[in-house]
């Protein structure tokens, strides 16, 4: 089975950043993240979660967690800003 993230990691195999987390923003409506280590804040306008080496904040409107597992998150809503801290 084709794994998009695995293929990208093969291309960037010498880059140090590829082992922290993976994030895909689909048209500002869906945000998919692999590699989170915990949710810190959860509201309809702000979602923050930890990743290896920092934190990611997501700002928007009408946001919710559509999926949450030990390492993956799927956020849906009007995603206006994503910032890695």
40-59 confidence digits (pLDDT tens): 999 999 999 999 889 999 99
Instruction: Give the global pTM.
Output: 0.80
Q: How many C-beta neighbours within 10 Å does residue 16 have? A: 7
**Which residues of the chain fall below pLDDT 70?**
1-5, 8-19
Hey, which residues does 46 pair with through a beta bridge?
59
Report the number of secondary-structure helices (H) and strands (E) in the chain.
1, 6
What residues contact residue 44 under an 8 Å CB cut-off, 6+ apart? Answer: 61, 62, 63, 64, 77
Domain regions of the chain by residue span: 20-84
pLDDT at 2: 59
Fold of 20-84: Immunoglobulin-like (2.60.40)
């Amino acid at each position: 089975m084709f794994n998009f993230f695995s293929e990208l990691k093969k291309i960037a195999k010498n880059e140090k950043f590829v082992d922290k987390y993976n994030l895909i923003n689909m048209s500002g409506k869906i945000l998919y993240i692999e590699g989170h280590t915990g949710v810190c804040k959860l509201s309809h306008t702000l979602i923050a979660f930890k990743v290896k080496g920092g934190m990611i904040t997501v700002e928007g409107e009408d946001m919710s967690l559509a999926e949450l597992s030990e390492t993956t998150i799927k956020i849906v809503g009007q995603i206006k800003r994503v910032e890695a801290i």
